[in-house]
Each structure stands twice: as C-alpha cells, then as structure tokens.
Chain A
C-alpha cells in the first residue's frame, strides 16, 4: 500500500486501493460457473432455510398438540381445579365456525370491529406520531403537553367507557374513541422516545451539509425515529384491540367483542370460543400488517 505510484498517480491508483480493500465484498463472489442442477439448488435452498423450516415444523406440531389437548380435556370433561364440563370441544367450535361464515350477521360483527379498529387506530397514528415528533423537537410543546399526557396515560381505556358515553352522541363514536385512546398513548410515548434517541451527530452532519430546520426534521429526525414509531404502532395496535373488545362488551350492539359476550348470555358456548379465536386471528393479522408496512418503509433495516 505504500507504493510511490499511489501518490504520484492518484487518478489511477485510488480505485485500485479501493478494490483491494473491498476484496471480500459481494461483487467479487460471483464466479462464472455452469448453472447448477435443480437438485443442488433444492439442497442449497434447504440448507439456507433449515432454521426457518424447523421453526415452521415445530410451530405446526405445537398448534396440533394444543388442539389435541383441548379435544381430550373437553371430550372427557375433565374437572381438575378448572372445569371443562361446559367448555366446547374443537369440533363443536369448528361446526359453529362453518355455520358462522355463511351467516351475514357474524361477518357484519367482524367487519364492524375491523372498521372501528381502522378508524380509531388511524386517528391515533395521525395525531400521535406528528405530536410526538413536534414534542420531541420543540421543548415548549413538550413542557405544555407532557404533564397532561402523563396523568391521562395510566388510565386504562376501559375506565374511559362511562366518560366516553357521556362525551359522544352515539355508541359507535364512543367505541371508536376508546379504541383511539388505547392506541394513542403507546404511539405517542414511543415516538417521543425515538426522538430523544436521535444521534445529535447526525443532526450536526446534516447541518454542515447545508440542511435547514425543516429538512433536518424530514431527513434526520423522522427517519431516525421510524423504528420506535413502528414499535409504538405495534404496541398501539395490540392495546387498540384490548380496548375495543372491552368497549364492545360493555356498550356495544355489534362487533366481535359483543358477539362473544352475547354468546355467553345466550348459552352458545361454542360461539364464545369462536369469538375468542376470531379476535386472536384479527389481532395477529393486524400486527402482521404493521410489521410488513414497517419493512416496506424502512428498507435499510431488513436483513
């Protein structure tokens, strides 16, 4: 590396040193070989994805085992501290599921719950993320809003039900409001946390490249906070479902939470389990959606 040529002919030798340093980089790996056969490709794919395949296989087995234990406990009506006497069996739940998917009323419950989540959660994100960003950037806004937020934050969304009924003219609005509250605080708090962790050196780097306040906000603070914003959205989505189901059970007329509660009142035991499983699947689906969105928005974090 200490060759005199390097200094005398910088034009020629600089890329050369660069390539030397970049030796083990991906560009060099590609070797001209004949295309491998299908068998070797399949084998290679298997080797590379072995861990993933293993996890999937164990996951499937574990779910099947859960169903089996459930089946055995209910078939033999086990009473051992907890009573499985009235608990529906998986087969009974499956039967009520096949009936329910042809029932427009059940589908309406699901659609309504999803709509409430969508509106409440979206509002929480639309208000919570920008508010968190602004609070993180402007001390005065933080000083004004933070104390109020800290007092309201520990109040569980369910405790807001009576107040929400008084505040909003319709039941629908108060349920959406509760969903909003449930997801709002996790989103706000995580956005704030993300803002507080932004590396000040990156802000300096942007400044001495000529960035002004608005550009710094858009190009540094916002992307730097995105990982925490998405943590907030994921947590917020979970709490949104918790709050929604509670609100629907107390004050609703429709929705999957109401469906589950109504099944209990009407002694439709299989429908209770069906409602619970539906909530689980919907909650899982929405957090998968958010994770996917996160990967789309933050390509630099994948792999």
Chain B
C-alpha cells in the first residue's frame, strides 16, 4: 500500500503548441489546433467543451494513444510516446475486463509490473477496502451496478500508483445520485493520493465542483477558449452548488460553452435567432414556425 500513496505531489502535465489532424479523402481534418494546457503537480483540472470539440482527443494524446501532429506532450518533463502505467486512465464505458473478477481487474496493473501473486492480492484487497468494495472482490464486473463498476475502474487505474489520473467522462453513464457520490469518492481519493488529475466532461457543474481550474474548449477545430480558475474553498460540499459564487462561475462557463455549441451546430443560428424561435414556438407547432 505504501508505494501506491505518494507523500509529495507529482505529475506535471504540459501540452505545448498541440495540434492533431486526421487524414481523410478530402484532406486533413483538424481536430485540435494550437492548444496549450498544463496541470501542476497535484492539481485537479477539467476540460469542458461542446461535443466533438476534441477534448477526448486531447486526453487520449496525454494518455499516449494518439500522436500529436505538431507540438509536444510531457509529464514531469518526459515526452509522452505511448500509453504507460504512469498515466492511469478511467473510461466512460468502465472498460473492466469481463473475464476477470473485481480483484483480478484491480490486480492487473500490478501483475503487468511483475508483482508476485500474494503481494498483489493483498494490495488489491486494501485498495478495494478503501473504495468499500471488499465484499465484491470475487464478483465478475457484469454483476455490479454502474457506480460500482466505475469505482473498480478508478481503483484499478490508481493501483499502480500513477503520476497522473486521466478521466474521460467517467460519470457520464451514471444516474444523478450515483454521480454525486462518485464525485465525492473521486475527490477523496485525489486528496489522499495527491496526484494530478485531468478530467474531461461535458457537465459544467461537475467540472466546477471538482476542479481547481477549468479549461473551456472551442468548437471543432478545438482549441482553448478560456481558462477559468475555480477559487471555491475545499472541502467542497454539495450545498456549495447553490452559492452565488458557484452560480456566477456556472453562468460564465455556460455562456462560453453555449456560444461554442451553437457554432458546432452549424453556426448560422445566432443567439437572437434562438430567442426568436422559442418565442414563436409558444402555441405553434414547429411546422408553423418554419
């Protein structure tokens, strides 16, 4: 256990002059352009943006699954050249191995590192205990609820003691109540382990509630539109989401994203047009209006 918990923060992520393009028959399609982000050691940073803006692309590049077309991704000064256990990842689809029990899933990273069986079993049990899953260690993932699956996913990613934790809309498939609990579990783990977190979400409340800083991306081709520090004090509580400070942040972020979402939907519908549409719609069918 001692080796999975670090005492000093680590994991300084830097993404510089980053762009990523896909080759298609019509030529190169720019997914992300001219992007700089950084995550300080021990910091919790979220990326929000309209769907298709390339936030997952950016995260996958930090994970090492995608090579940047230009620019460079480094973690603690070392260039990212491919996936590694130093950068743990949590996926929206849980992506637990269905043929492995909960404990075997958590053990996987340790097994890959060559840790002897008895030692990794003990480590996995301890970690599962922390997440309240010790009773389910022998279950296969299929039998678990979504929230439990994702807890296993997070524990599995943390088991190898990574420098950074990357999460790609990890709670997107969960119901609202479970999501709140999961957010708190994640906050707890982050505060204990003091690792850097890069969190991709489309949920603005979630981003503000969890993060020290939020990057807002533009519509495709994605780049950083704004960087918003979240000065809310910690520990944060659910009730904070009603505070004027929180709501002001929310309003600001919301309008930034709405601008981009409208652009992503085609661009020709401007804000005024939307308002006009909603007024016209009262008492009329959509066909009447159009």
> Given A210-B84, A210-B113: A21 and B181 within 8 A (CB)?
yes
Q: Measured between alpha carbons, how far is A6 from B156 in the docked complex, in Å?
A: 22
A295 to B97, CA, bound (A): 18
B87 touches A208 (CB 8 A): yes
Q: Is B142 interfacial (CB-CB < 8 Å)?
A: yes
Most buried by A among B63, B89, B113: B89
Contact pick for B236, options A1, A7, A18, A207, CB 8 Å: A7
Say yes or no for B177: interface residue by CB 8 A criterion: yes
Question: Is A85 in the interface zone, CB < 8 Å from B?
Answer: no
Interface residues of B in 39-90 (CB under 8 A from A): 63-65, 82-85, 87-89
Query: In this complex, what residue of B is CB-closest to A28?
Result: B135
Quick one: which of A19, A204, A219 contacts B65, CB cutoff 8 A? A204
Q: Which of A206-259 contact B (CB under 8 A)?
A: 206-212, 215, 219-220, 223-224, 226
The yes or no answer to B131 lying at the interface (CB within 8 A) is: yes
Given contacts A1-B181, A219-B97, contact A7 B112 (CB under 8 A): no
| Chain B residue at smallest Cβ distance from A220 | B97
- Give the complex CA separation of A207 and B109 in angstroms: 9
A21/B95 in contact, CB under 8 A: no
| A204, B140: Cβ atoms closer than 8 Å | no
Q: Are A202 and B135 in touch, CB under 8 angstroms?
A: no
Known: A204-B65, A205-B89. A17 touches B235 (CB 8 A): no
Which A residue's beta carbon lies closest to that of B113?
A210
Which residue on B lies nearest to A297, using beta carbons?
B99
Which of A7, A17, A206, A211 contacts B132 (CB under 8 A)?
A: A17
Kindly state the interface size class of chain A when it binds its partner: 35 or more
Please measure, in the bound complex, the distance between the C-alpha atom of A96 and the C-alpha atom of B191, giving whole angstroms. Answer: 80
Q: Please indicate the chain B residues that have their CB under 8 angstroms from the CB of A8 in the complex.
A: 235
Q: Are A7 and B237 in contact (CB under 8 A)?
A: yes
Interface residues of A in 272-303 (CB under 8 A from B): 298-300
B275 within 8 A of A: no
Q: Are A204 and B89 in contact (CB under 8 A)?
A: yes
Give the Cβ gap from A293 to chain B, nearest Cβ, in Å.
16
**How far, in whole Å, are A223 and B175 apart by their CA atoms in the complex?**
31
Bound Cα distance A7, B188 (Å): 7
Which of A15, A27, A205, A208 lies in contact with B64, CB distance below 8 A?
Answer: A208
Let me know if A209 and B95 touch, CB within 8 A. Answer: no
Interface centre among B93, B97, B145 (most CB of A within 10 A): B97
For residue A152, CB closer than 8 A to chain B, the reply is no
Is A22 part of the binding interface, using a Cβ–Cβ cutoff of 8 Å? yes
**B residues in contact with A15, CB < 8 Å:** 129-130, 132
Interchain CB contact under 8 A, B237 and A2: yes
Counting CB contacts under 8 A, is A60 at the interface?
Answer: no
State whether A1 touches B95 (Cβ < 8 A): no
- Complex Cα gap A10–B151 (Å): 15
* B residues near A17, Cβ cutoff 8 Å: 132, 181, 184-185
Q: Known contacts A1-B180, A1-B238, A210-B85; decide if A205 and B91 are in contact (CB<8 Å).
A: yes
Q: Does A148 contact B (CB under 8 A)?
A: no
* A210 pairs with B184, CB closer than 8 A: no
- A211 and B130 within 8 A (CB): no
- Can you report 22 residue pairs joining A to B where beta carbons are below 8 Å apart? A2-B180, A4-B237, A6-B188, A8-B235, A16-B132, A17-B184, A18-B132, A18-B151, A19-B132, A21-B148, A21-B181, A25-B136, A206-B112, A208-B85, A208-B88, A208-B157, A209-B108, A209-B160, A210-B113, A211-B112, A223-B99, A300-B100
- Sample of 12 further A-B pairs with CB below 8 A, known A19-B132, A205-B91, A224-B99: A7-B187, A10-B192, A17-B184, A18-B132, A22-B145, A22-B148, A201-B91, A202-B95, A209-B88, A219-B97, A300-B101, A300-B142
Measured CB to CB, the residues of B under 8 A from A are 63-65, 82-85, 87-89, 91, 93, 95-101, 108-109, 112-113, 129-133, 135-136, 140, 142, 145, 147-148, 151, 156-157, 160, 177-178, 180-181, 184-185, 187-188, 191-192, 235-239
Q: Which 6 A-B pairs have the closest CB atoms?
A: A18-B132, A2-B238, A210-B85, A7-B235, A10-B188, A209-B109
